[in-house]
């Protein structure tokens, strides 16, 4: 499991240790350890990490290791995204070195509600409104039904000393403003149940998004011609045009990623969709990751196809 030294992750550690002590059968020999990621963004980070390690060991977890996270100060995506990238790189390194099969993360219902508001603020669509997934790959989040107050109560019961990160109240971070300014205002005006309502919205949106993505993945191969030696992909235009927009956009995104690009933003995806739905321009439209799209020219072998050009080989 991952631990920051905060109330949420220490509560998760206490719960993991409690369940592990009571585990019988084939899983009784499994190890439950912890990874403390130090971003080195706070002057007391070494002390905070050390205190977390001592408490994790006292709970009976092992192995317990500290891993540094590299945070790129020049990241174009901002400090929060850079810290997240560094954190997940540290997680994957820890999994490889320690032989872990999964990592538990301590996101709560409060985090989920804040994530839905972030998605609304960014206009990022159903997947963003779906919030934080309960599980994805090796990462699992068993506390999404608990509130932040409940994790603090668990720590108090267990006698754990948690750390409150001052960055969580720093207004220069969007998530912090949502936590300390927007959410309290919504609770005041709309009632205490707003957090539960937002978390429930995430649960509903997640189910919808998963269905749409599964449909898109099933249809995608039926529209796809075999890529050539350059990795360029070609999708049949007419059947792509006939699909519902929600499926069509997801298939275009799948093609961009399959060609070696990054998952496209809504703006670029919308521009790409115009090539399918009848724009006078045939492109090209540039996507993230040096992938470009264009509509095949009349009279060419690519006519009637959406062409997704892979990045040039190094």
Structure tokens at 299: 């009279």
Check whether 9 is labelled as a binding-site residue: yes
Q: Judge whether 175 and 17 are in contact, CB under 8 Å.
A: no
DSSP secondary-structure letter at 182? I
Residue 45 neighbours by CB distance under 10 Å: 18
C-alpha span between 281 and 285 (Å, rounded): 10
Check whether 8 is labelled as a binding-site residue: yes
Structure tokens at 193: 């149940």
Check whether 5 is labelled as a binding-site residue: yes
Which residue, among 250, 306, 246, has the nearest Cα to 276 in the 3D structure? 306
C-alpha span between 175 and 112 (Å, rounded): 11
Check whether 101 is labelled as a binding-site residue: no
- Report the half-sphere exposure of 278 (CA within 13 A, side-chain side): 3
Structure tokens at 172: 């220069």
Sign of the C-alpha dihedral computed for residues 78, 213, 2 and 165 taken in this order = positive
Structure tokens at 248: 């069509």
In the block, tokens 């971070």 appear at 173
Check whether 7 is labelled as a binding-site residue: yes
Check whether 4 is labelled as a binding-site residue: yes
Report the DSSP pairing between strands 285-286 and 305-309.
Answer: unpaired
C-alpha span between 46 and 60 (Å, rounded): 21
C-alpha span between 25 and 264 (Å, rounded): 46
Residues forming the annotated binding site? 4-9
Residues forming the annotated binding site for ATP? 4-9
């Amino acid at each position: 499991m991952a631990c920051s030294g905060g109330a949420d992750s220490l509560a998760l550690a206490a719960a993991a240790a409690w369940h592990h002590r009571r585990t019988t059968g084939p899983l009784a020999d499994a190890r439950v350890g912890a990874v403390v990621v130090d971003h080195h963004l706070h002057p007391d980070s070494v002390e905070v990490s050390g205190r977390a390690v001592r408490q994790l060991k006292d709970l009976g977890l092992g192995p317990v290791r500290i891993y540094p996270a590299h945070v790129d100060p020049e990241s174009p995506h901002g400090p929060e995204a850079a810290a997240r990238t560094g954190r997940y790189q540290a997680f994957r390194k820890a999994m490889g070195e320690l032989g872990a099969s999964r990592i538990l993360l301590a996101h709560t219902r409060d985090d989920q509600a804040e994530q839905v508001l972030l998605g609304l603020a960014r206009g990022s669509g159903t997947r963003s409104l779906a919030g934080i997934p309960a599980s994805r790959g090796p990462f699992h989040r068993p506390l999404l039904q608990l509130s932040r107050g409940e994790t603090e109560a668990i720590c108090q019961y267990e006698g754990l000393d948690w750390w409150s990160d001052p960055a969580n109240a720093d207004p220069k971070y969007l998530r912090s403003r949502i936590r300390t300014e927007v959410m309290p205002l919504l609770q005041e005006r709309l009632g205490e149940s707003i957090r539960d309502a937002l978390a429930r919205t995430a649960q509903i949106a997640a189910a919808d998004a998963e269905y749409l993505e599964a449909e898109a993945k099933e249809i995608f191969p039926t529209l796809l011609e075999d890529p050539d030696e350059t990795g360029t992909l070609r999708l049949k235009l007419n059947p792509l045009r006939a699909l519902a927009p929600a499926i069509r956009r997801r298939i275009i995104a799948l093609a961009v990623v399959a060609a070696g690009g990054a998952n496209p933003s809504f703006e670029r995806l919308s521009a790409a969709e115009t090539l399918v739905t009848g724009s006078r321009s045939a492109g090209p439209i540039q996507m993230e990751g040096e992938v470009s799209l264009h509509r095949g020219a009349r009279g060419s072998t690519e006519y009637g196809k959406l062409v997704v050009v892979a990045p040039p080989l190094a």
